[in-house]
Structure formats: structure tokens, C-alpha cells
């Protein structure tokens, strides 16, 4: 039953590898709890009720698991049981009376604009395939705000340099078109020239590839971003998603329309985008305090 669900979210729902791995781990943990506490097996799903699920949530809370992590596990179980109701493996969904825990809103970390400018305009990337790939990764993530998985999914044919746009396949298999700024176009052209000259491009259709021409992978991008952000910022978190946060924050600080930023990020709802407005409000507040005579 677990394997059928995992195949469903992988091939039909097109969930990311990260989500797939997390859900697989969450379900294994839940099944272990069922077996240890209630002597239930995977085949006993129809016997599970909301009280059993709540008892697991309570154990997680007592174990010091954060509300954010618990909510992800709740989301996993909601998808899991909804699927099995749909395929008629069970009749009653035990998650109908389960609600997510309240969490404090986490303000996204971002890199200051001056630091990004320093990296992209003044740092000398090596004039090699690897050096140009590093620059492309940093500049692509910052200039478009796309997710790590979206960057790794791009093929060369998805990029239209003439019309300055790139096609991206986002969450839920939703496609969107993003504009490419002029400086990024130049970086793409330099990278593709090095890729053609130095790498066996017959091994992969992906834009981002390894030194051996194989598909790029998350660890490659993580290491690249962490390395270069470490040269310009002291913030604790230096991940690809920080560049996505930075993209959104800088746009809003410059007065970009919130709905436009939502579309660029590929958010399903405006609420997900509004978290970035906090940084913009803080900037306005500081300007007010410095300039207003009654502040």
C-alpha cells in the first residue's frame, strides 16, 4: 500500500525527489509506531482512526519534534489516506478530524543586494567549464527565483535566448515561462560554449551537467551555492532556496507587484508569497525612523 502511494505521487503527482524521500521516511516511521504500539501492520489501514493518528502526533510532540516537521508528517498522512480512499482500499479517512499545529511564521533569510552585486559583478569565476557552471548556477537561481529541482530539470531546448525566456516545470507538473535578464543570457552563452568544447554533451539533455556530462544533481548545486555564498555573507543558511528568498525580497524592496512575484515564484496562493513582504516592511520602517522628525 505504501509503495503504490509512493509511485502515485512520483509518477502521477510528480512530487519532487526531496518530498518523495521525506514522505517515504514519514510513512515508515508511522508504520513502525503502529506496529510497536497497536500491533498493526500495513494491511490494517482500514482499522486506523483519528485517535490513533492523534496519539502518534502526541508522541512526536513529546519527543521534541518541531510543529513544522509534525505538520509535514500530517500532510503526508493526509495525502496517503486520501489516495487510499480514492482507490477504495479504505472507506473512512481518519485524517478528516486532524488539523495542523500552529507554527510561528519563519521570516526567510536573504542575502543583501550589495553582496550579490559583489559576487556577480566583481568576483572572478574561472574561465573553465566548471567555473562557468558555478556562475550559471548562482546567477540562474538569483535572476529567476526558481527552485533547485526546477533548475536541474531544465534542458537546453527549454531556453529561448532570442525571446529572453525559459520554460520551467514546477510543482504539480505546472509549467511556467520566466523572463531571462540580459546578463544571464551572456552567462548562458559563455557556459554553453565551454560545455560544447569541454564536455561530452551526448550523455545528457540537461542544462546543468557534471564534469563528465551526466545529469546535474542536488548535492552539486548545494555545494556550489554554499561555497560562493560563504565568500560574501555570514548568514547561517546558505542554500539554493536562500537565493530564491533573495530574488523575491529584492524584487519587493524595489516595488514589484506582489501578484507578479507570486507568478514568477510559481506559488499556488498569494499567502505563500506574502511572507516576503515582512522584509520590505522592515526596510520601510527603518527609512521612516531615520527620516521622520516624529519617529
The residues assigned a catalytic role are 147, 171, 241, 244, 267, 276
Closest CA to 260 of 140, 181, 179: 179
Eight-class DSSP state of 250? H
- How far is Cα 90 from Cα 83, in angstroms, rounded to an integer? 9
Q: Pull the grid cell for residue 202.
A: 551526448
CB 34 within 8 A of CB 40: yes
- How far is Cα 211 from Cα 95, in angstroms, rounded to an integer? 47
Q: Could you give the C-alpha distances from 132 to 138, 140, 267, in angstroms and in order?
A: 10, 12, 30
Region of 215 (left: φ > 0; alpha: ψ -120 to 50; beta: rest) is beta
Closest CA to 133 of 272, 227, 29: 227
CB 212 within 8 A of CB 195: no
Amino acid at each position: 500500500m505504501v509503495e503504490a502511494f509512493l509511485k502515485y505521487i512520483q509518477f502521477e503527482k510528480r512530487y519532487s525527489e526531496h518530498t518523495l524521500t521525506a514522505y517515504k521516511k514519514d510513512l515508515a516511521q508511522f508504520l513502525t509506531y503502529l506496529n510497536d504500539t497497536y500491533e498493526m501492520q500495513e494491511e490494517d489501514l482500514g482499522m486506523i482512526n483519528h485517535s490513533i493518528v492523534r496519539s502518534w502526533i502526541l508522541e512526536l510532540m513529546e519527543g521534541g519534534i518541531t510543529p513544522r516537521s509534525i505538520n509535514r508528517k500530517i500532510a503526508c498522512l493526509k495525502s496517503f489516506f486520501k489516495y487510499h480512499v480514492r482507490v477504495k482500499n479504505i472507506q473512512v479517512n481518519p485524517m478528516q478530524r486532524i488539523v495542523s499545529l500552529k507554527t510561528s511564521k519563519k521570516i526567510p533569510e536573504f542575502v543583501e543586494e550589495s553582496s550579490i552585486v559583489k559576487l556577480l559583478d566583481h568576483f572572478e569565476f574561472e574561465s573553465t567549464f566548471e567555473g562557468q557552471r558555478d556562475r550559471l548556477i548562482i546567477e540562474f537561481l538569483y535572476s529567476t527565483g526558481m527552485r533547485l529541482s526546477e533548475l536541474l530539470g531544465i534542458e537546453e531546448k527549454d531556453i529561448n535566448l532570442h525571446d529572453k525566456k525559459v520554460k520551467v516545470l514546477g510543482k504539480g507538473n505546472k509549467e511556467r515561462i520566466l523572463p531571462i535578464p540580459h546578463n544571464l543570457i551572456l552567462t548562458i552563452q559563455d557556459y554553453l560554449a565551454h560545455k560544447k568544447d569541454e564536455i561530452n554533451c551526448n550523455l545528457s539533455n540537461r542544462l546543468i551537467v557534471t564534469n563528465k556530462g551526466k545529469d546535474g544533481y542536488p548535492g552539486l548545486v548545494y555545494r556550489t551555492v554554499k561555497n560562493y555564498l560563504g565568500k560574501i555573507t555570514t548568514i547561517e543558511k546558505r542554500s539554493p532556496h536562500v537565493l530564491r528568498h533573495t530574488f523575491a525580497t529584492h524584487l519587493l524592496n524595489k516595488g514589484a507587484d506582489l501578484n507578479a512575484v507570486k507568478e514568477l515564484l510559481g506559488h499556488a496562493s498569494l499567502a505563500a508569497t506574502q511572507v516576503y513582504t515582512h522584509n520590505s516592511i522592515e526596510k520601510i520602517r527603518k527609512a521612516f525612523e531615520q527620516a521622520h522628525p516624529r519617529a
